[in-house]
Amino acid sequence: MKITIQALQSQIPKELSGRMTKESLERLANHLHLATEDDMDAIPFYLLCDLVITCKELDLKENYHKVITEIQMIMQKIQNKIPQELSGRMTKESLERLANHLHLATIDDMSDIPPWLLYDLAITCKELDLKENYHKVLIEIQMNLEAKQMADLAEQRAELAEQRAEKAEQRLKEAKLLEQRITNFINSMTKKYGDKK
């Protein structure tokens, strides 16, 4: 299914994520024309959605188009990650009913949908030619992928911090052992040769 900008526009969240101040978003939106392709690729998806809202509010048509085009490219990449077959966890009829009512789902409702069901819904929406609902599902899949990447990164950092703490603890034990050996050596020498002052 072709990812259209019009269908995307209707499915992008209507409210800011709240992760950045409005002033910061406005500054960023006003300078988007300076962003290179690599810069655009590095912007997290939630921020792209926030920038679409901000550019629209500020009537920055060129920058708005730049952001929405970036979202469109991301959606096309996600489309390629969608499996060809349903998971089989729900009946086709149930999936079709759900797909037909996705337009009623809030952002919170969408965030509660498990990944396997999102993929099944993407397949079903595509088969039923429900463009707006399909785009809504793709956006949620991207949000989930990004959240998982952030969780994985946080887990890696936590593991690294734990390894550093273990190394520091080991060094402390080694330092205490060395201190004890030095103390024992001094005591041994003092007993053997006495304190000759």
Write out pLDDT tens, residues 9-30: 777 778 888 889 999 999 999 9
Q: Where does the pLDDT of residue 196 fall: very low under 50, low under 70, confident under 90, or very high at 90 and above? A: low
> What is the pLDDT, as a whole number, of residue 150?
86
Query: How far is the C-alpha of 25 from the C-alpha of 53, rounded, in Å?
Result: 10
**Whether the predicted pLDDT of 197 surpasses 70:** no
- Name which residue leads in pLDDT, 61 or 2: 61
φ, ψ of residue 154 in degrees (nearest 5):
-65, -40
Q: Where does the pLDDT of residue 78 fall: very low under 50, low under 70, confident under 90, or very high at 90 and above? A: confident
- Residues 120-159 have pLDDT tens digits of 999 999 999 998 899 899 989 998 888 888 888 899 999 9
**Whether the predicted pLDDT of 3 surpasses 80:** no
Q: Which amino acid is at 111?
A: S
Alpha-helical runs (H) found in the chain = 5-11, 22-30, 37-42, 45-57, 61-81, 92-100, 107-111, 115-128, 131-193
In the block, tokens 């939106």 appear at: 29
- Residues 40-72 have pLDDT tens digits of 988 998 899 999 999 999 999 999 999 998 988
